[in-house]
Chain A
């Protein structure tokens, strides 16, 4: 008699199911939530302190937009460094931590699985469930903003009045420019129009230590980008100046010009990038130039790209902040600023703008009152010149806006309502249970 063991599909799936169940149990566990919340709190604290040295942009990248990091915590006491070294700085504790990406991603999963799917759907948990839905919506809004939102700035002068000559000042625009990111634009001058092709900054970064070669369909040349500098200044090459950067002929018989590398500032938007470009044509012509990202676009229409001519066709290369299109035009009609009396502190500053596409519809943009249109939001941020402005007799005002496109613009507001309702519901239920509980009576009578 022989015996044979028969294995059923259920048996073979059992270990897998057990593992799956264990994974789900861990992912949905409240203890995991505690660990993740503590980690996020720690990251937030360390990321806040890091801003003192590194500035907001770098700290944000390091702590809140990363997968892993080693946090440097300088020990201090009463505002003074602790165990100070020769440089006068306190002893630096190096703490390895997961970045905010994995922490928040796991928190989101934990919230979905533990806080919503596996939560006991009873009336007494209704408030908690609603709160968790709200927080999930909030995290989702953050994710959508991070992935799909972009923003930039725009500065417009007041429109010229009748009889006033129209200068190169920009008083209306249907584009805006990024605060941080650069792009290298190749411009083909066709007489009446200019055709553009752009290369993103990320594709140029390798030129910091080498050469990036750019080719394009139908182009009679290649472009070599080299000596990329995150922050630099163009300078004339004086007799006493030494540089390792290439010195280019400045075209008027002078000593030449070069880009001097500068130490990048913590806030990325304050850095002006630059690089060298070499254009090699199919017929062995060579053009060397410098492109420097000084930004004039927000204030003036004109740009000064590096230009060259190949086979009778004019071309230009322009390193500029990324230009985004707006689906409508903003024209600054008037800007008004009111100071607190006797001071130079602005009490109110607002822009009266019109939208030409909507029969010159008028709108006011001021602090806490942006213009929302077609998915874009236009905010009032600043103005200039600081010492001027009409009607006081100074030069004309220009108004500075921030423009953002964010699909999840209003989601946090909805999440706020959901969370508030959930929290109030939950704690009112808890309070009423407590007030009716025997425990309270017992405690009170003890």
Chain B
């Protein structure tokens, strides 16, 4: 095969488009938002500290996870980006740009809350939102602005009123501005809640009475001093009369402060590892109940403080004192030392608790090795690295079109794609090891899994029919889906490894139904991609429909469709069998079930239409391409409908991607159809096509 003018032209066109995209992206990049005034912390957190603190175990949303993961997903949710950028004027007058990783940002939120409250955090994309909140319009707004927590705090009453008012409107009837204000309120609350986790440590109570000062050894009493002198505090309290009517004001202030500190972070992040109470272990009844409804619950600061004050868990006093030091130390180095000490103490306490649980015949979900593995997983981000290699593989595949006889380029492209597939697969395996689950637990997992299966299918298709088409489709699909996964991860802002609800808590069904149906999705997408390539090649006259490459494409599309149909049908029925065991009915016309059925019906109808001669080559590929849109509908769109039992992955950010895919798909099919009508095949070619029609 020699390079044809059409092919060269198409490659040039693609290159120009890519260049235009890069140029446009650069032109659209905007200046880093400024933080005005002096900052408390201008020296960066040390790399060693960030690395260590990243793997500090905390408990949130029902599982123990690295602190870095908590930081990352909270930042994604409230900020909509993977990092936070700002610039400030240094002491020497120079402008400095800062990029904070999620862990650094969270450390600032907890240890430098005043500074963090000035960071450009909440993205506002609609000027009407700014107007609604009463911000002055300087007439120079770009397509979005960042507001700091402090700025939003100043208008919090207005925001709360508007959000409450608009929440009463049905979601689908809300305007974009109303929806945006509700989301802003939700993000504000999330940040506020996070900030309050250590909020009590930033306050101290002034005491004037000598006996109180003597008891705490200070004129200002913070929680650290209180915990360190808890016996003296209780002696002072017990010396008062029952109504505390004549108690020193300082003591009353401290008591009130403690009360507020205990309730300040209710239901917050579990920062303090659980501790066994010897009395509980001795009580067989307590242990029996524990076995019934056993869970290792970590406590937020307030709950832990209450236990320490009540002398239930005196060993936790050290952890609280360490946290107090981390917050109130005068310089960065002291803060870092205190944070490292907190980490060590937490890991030791959690490990001891887990060990004891096992000795008592209970289970434990805590394993610091797994926390470290998860930290390393996110640090390595194999799936992210695979994007670069997929793109490289695609470039090499494009090179194959220009130099079709080069076996070296073909092998290099295939090798690079397989390498990227290996990275992606390793990423999926790591997720399985960390969660101790099959590959798919939620919508995010489907991206990675479908990408891996899709690439594998395309690679197999290329090996069976080496036309350099599936070779390019494989890395393209891999890069595209993994990029979508990255975008979804940030847009959704929810930890992708959080525990499952009870109905999904079945490794058997996750491994069978969920995996099977997603293999069906992957095959449907690959078939659609190959079908679109066929349309593109015909429209651009890269190849004639009767030529071998186009015939090969039809065969590949057919083969992948057959493969996908097997998995889609079996997966759909397995889903029904699962539903029969969990909800009491095989089929309930739930949107997700319907979506799966639509894929099966589309593919069965396609194959029957092909067998019966209802469709020829173009009809076959157009139908395959539309089946791809049906896959997208089933995969995502039903989750946007806001109905049904499978509503586990709602995300308004997906809507644009879904509709874009529909429009692109419809465009391809429409252009292809117009081309067939306006430029029909020659008669000779038609006969030849009939003779070689694929059965």
- Whether B581 contacts A370 by the Cβ 8 Å rule is yes
Chain A window 343-382, contacts with chain B (Cβ cutoff 8 Å), 1 for yes, 0 for no? 1011111000000000000000011111000000101010
**Minimal beta-carbon separation of A289 from chain B (angstroms):** 35
Q: In the complex, which residue of chain B has the Cβ closest to the Cβ of A427?
A: B562
Contact of A342 among B59, B555, B614 (CB under 8 A): B59
* Inter-chain contact A45/B642, CB cutoff 8 Å: no
Q: Tell whether A16 is near chain B: CB-to-CB under 8 Å.
A: no
Q: Could you tell me the distance between the alpha carbons of A48 and B604 in the complex, rounded to whole angstroms?
A: 20
The reply to whether A347 and B295 contact each other, CB–CB distance below 8 Å, is yes
User: Judging by beta carbons under 8 Å apart, are B643 and A367 in contact?
Assistant: no
A446-B106 Cα distance, complex, nearest whole Å: 60
Contact status B295-A339, CB under 8 Å: yes
Is the pair A379, B548 in contact by a Cβ cutoff of 8 Å? Answer: no
Complex Cα gap A49–B587 (Å): 17
Task: Considering the complex, give the chain A residue whose CB is closest to the CB of B466.
Answer: A444
Residues of A within 8 Å of B289, CB to CB, are 391
**Which residues of chain A are within 8 angstroms of B573 by Cβ–Cβ distance?**
138, 412, 415-416, 419
Tally of chain A residues near chain B (CB < 8 A):
75
A341 at the interface (CB under 8 A from B): yes
Contact B594 A44 (CB under 8 A): yes
Nearest to A29 among chain B residues (CB) is B612
Contacts of A368 in B (CB 8 A): 503, 505-506, 509, 578, 581-582
- Complex CA distance for A416 and B566, rounded to whole angstroms: 11
Main secondary structure of the interface of A (DSSP, over half): helix
Instruction: Tell me the complex Cα distance, A369–B590, Å.
Output: 21
CA distance A404 to B63 in the complex (A): 35
Most chain-B CB neighbours within 10 Å: which of A51, A336, A434, A435? A51
Q: Does B24 contact A (CB under 8 A)?
A: no
CA of A209 to CA of B465 in the docked complex: distance in angstroms? 70
Complex interface: chain B residues within 8 A of A51 (CB):
589, 591, 641, 643-644
In the assembled complex, which residues on chain A have CB atoms less than 8 Å from the CB atom of B213?
Answer: none
Q: Which of B61, B566, B608 touches A33 (beta carbons < 8 Å)?
A: B608
Residues in B with CB closer than 8 Å to A402 are 583-584
A369 and B584 CA atoms in complex are apart in Å by 11
Chain A residues lying within 8 Å of B612, measured Cβ to Cβ, are 29-31, 33-34
B283 at the interface (CB under 8 A from A): no
**Per-residue 0/1 for A422-446: is the Cβ within 8 Å of any B Cβ (1 yes, 0 no)?**
0110010011001100011011101
A416 to B509, CA, bound (A): 14
CB <8 Å contact, B584 and A404: yes
For A318-335 the 0/1 string (1 means CB < 8 A from B) is 000000000000000000
Chain A residues near B580: list those with CB within 8 A.
Answer: 409, 412-413
- Pair B499/A340 contact, Cβ less than 8 Å: yes
A151 at the interface (CB under 8 A from B): yes
| B570 contacts chain A at the CB level, 8 A cutoff | yes
Chain A residues lying within 8 Å of B559, measured Cβ to Cβ, are 431, 434
Measured between beta carbons, the chain A residues less than 8 angstroms from B505 are 347-348, 367-368
From A141, A342, A381, A413, B297 is in contact (CB under 8 Å) with: A342
Cα-based distance from A339 to B573 in the complex (angstroms): 31
For the complex, is B177 an interface residue (Cβ under 8 Å from A)? no
- The reply to whether A423 and B61 contact each other, CB–CB distance below 8 Å, is no
Asked whether any CB of chain B lies closer than 8 Å to the CB of A52, the reply is yes
Q: 8 Å CB contacts to B: which residues of A73-102?
A: 77-79, 88
The answer to whether the Cβ of A38 comes within 8 Å of any Cβ in the partner chain is yes
Given the interface contacts A30-B608, A33-B608, A443-B552, does A391 sit within 8 Å of B569 by beta carbon? Answer: no
Name B545-597 residues within 8 Å CB distance of A.
Answer: 547-549, 551-552, 555, 559, 562-563, 565-566, 569-570, 573-574, 576-578, 580-591, 594-595, 597
- Determine the chain B residues whose CB is within 8 A of the CB of A391 once the complex forms: 289, 292-293
Q: Tell me which residues across on chain A come within 8 A of B598, comparing CB atoms.
A: 41, 44-45
A-B contact count (CB 8 A): 205
Q: Output the least CB separation between A436 and chain B (Å).
A: 12
**CB proximity of B392 to chain A, nearest CB, Å:** 26
CB atoms of B296 and A341 under 8 A apart: yes
Cβ proximity bits B457-471 to A, threshold 8 Å, 1 near / 0 not = 000000011110000
The B interface is mostly helix, strand or loop, or mixed, namely helix
Whether B502 is near chain A, meaning CB under 8 Å from some CB there, is yes
Residue A338 lies at the interface, judged by CB distance under 8 Å to chain B: yes
- The CA-CA distance from A100 to B573 in the complex, in Å, is 19
Q: Is B611 an interface residue (CB 8 A)?
A: yes
Contact B586 A337 (CB under 8 A): no
Given contacts A37-B604, A44-B597, contact A64 B583 (CB under 8 A): no
A142 within 8 A of B: yes
A412 to B587, CA, bound (A): 10
**At the interface, yes or no: A40 with Cβ under 8 Å from chain B?**
yes
Cα-based distance from A75 to B577 in the complex (angstroms): 35
CB pair B298 A342 closer than 8 Å:
yes
Taking residues whose C-beta sits less than 8 angstroms from the other chain, chain B's interface range is: 35 or more
A341 partner, pick from B297, B604, B614, beta carbons under 8 A: B297
Point out the residues of chain B lying under 8 angstroms from A342, CB to CB: 59-62, 267, 270, 297-298
Chain B residue nearest to A77 (CB atoms) is: B659
Q: Roughly how many angstroms separate A345 CA and B566 CA in the complex, as a whole number? A: 36
Verify B601–A56 contact, CB threshold 8 A. no
Interface centre among B59, B293, B501, B656 (most CB of A within 10 A): B293
Q: Are A79 and B659 in contact (CB under 8 A)?
A: yes
Contacting pair B659 A78 (CB below 8 A): yes
Bound-state CA distance A337–B608 (Å) is 50
Give the docked Cα–Cα distance between A30 and B681 (Å): 27
- Closest Cβ of chain B to A338, distance in Å, is 4
User: Does B159 lie at the interface of the complex (its beta carbon under 8 Å from any beta carbon of A)?
Assistant: no
Interface: A307 (CB within 8 A): no
Instruction: State the CA gap A345–B500 with chains docked (Å).
Output: 9
B-side contacts of A298, CB under 8 Å: none
Cα A229 to Cα B240 in complex, Å, equals 67
Using A34-B614, A59-B589 as known contacts, say yes or no to A341 and B295 having CB atoms under 8 A apart: yes
Residues of B within 8 A of A142 (CB): 586-587
Could you say which of B293, B297, B577, B605 contacts A41, with CB atoms under 8 Å apart? B605
Task: Report the bound CA distance from A412 to B642 in whole Å.
Answer: 28
Q: Which of A34, A151, A345, A431 contacts B608 (CB 8 A)?
A: A34
Q: Is B190 an interface residue (CB 8 A)?
A: no
Q: Which residue of B lies closest to A415 (CB)?
A: B573
Query: Which of chain A's residues 44-73 have a Cβ closer than 8 Å to chain B?
Result: 44-45, 47-49, 51-52, 56, 59-60, 63-64
Flag whether B421 is at the interface (Cβ < 8 A): no
B residues 599-622 in Cβ contact with A at 8 Å: 601-602, 604-605, 608-609, 611-612, 614
- B655 touching A56, Cβ below 8 Å: no
**A145 contacts the other chain (CB 8 A):** yes
Closest to A343 in B: B62
A222 within 8 A of B: no
Give A341 to B464 CA distance when docked, in angstroms. Answer: 50
The residues of A that contact B655 with a CB separation of less than 8 Å are 78-79
Most buried by A among B1, B464, B565: B464
Residue of B with least CB distance to A428: B566
| Given contacts A37-B608, A338-B295, A370-B584, A430 and B589 within 8 Å (CB-CB) | no
With A338-B293, A423-B565 known, 20 other A-B pairs at CB within 8 A are A37-B604, A44-B597, A48-B589, A51-B589, A336-B293, A341-B63, A342-B60, A342-B62, A342-B297, A342-B298, A347-B499, A367-B503, A367-B582, A379-B582, A381-B584, A412-B580, A423-B569, A427-B566, A443-B465, A446-B1
**Can you name 10 A-B residue pairings with CB atoms under 8 Å?**
A33-B605, A45-B598, A47-B589, A48-B594, A56-B589, A340-B61, A342-B60, A419-B570, A427-B563, A443-B465
CB-CB nearest 6 A-B residue pairs: A340-B62, A446-B548, A37-B605, A30-B612, A416-B573, A41-B601
Residues of chain A having any CB pair with chain B under 8 Å: 29-31, 33-34, 37-38, 40-41, 44-45, 47-49, 51-52, 56, 59-60, 63-64, 77-79, 88, 138, 141-142, 145, 151, 336-343, 345-349, 366-370, 377, 379, 381, 391, 402-404, 409, 412-413, 415-416, 419-420, 423-424, 427, 430-431, 434-435, 439-440, 442-444, 446
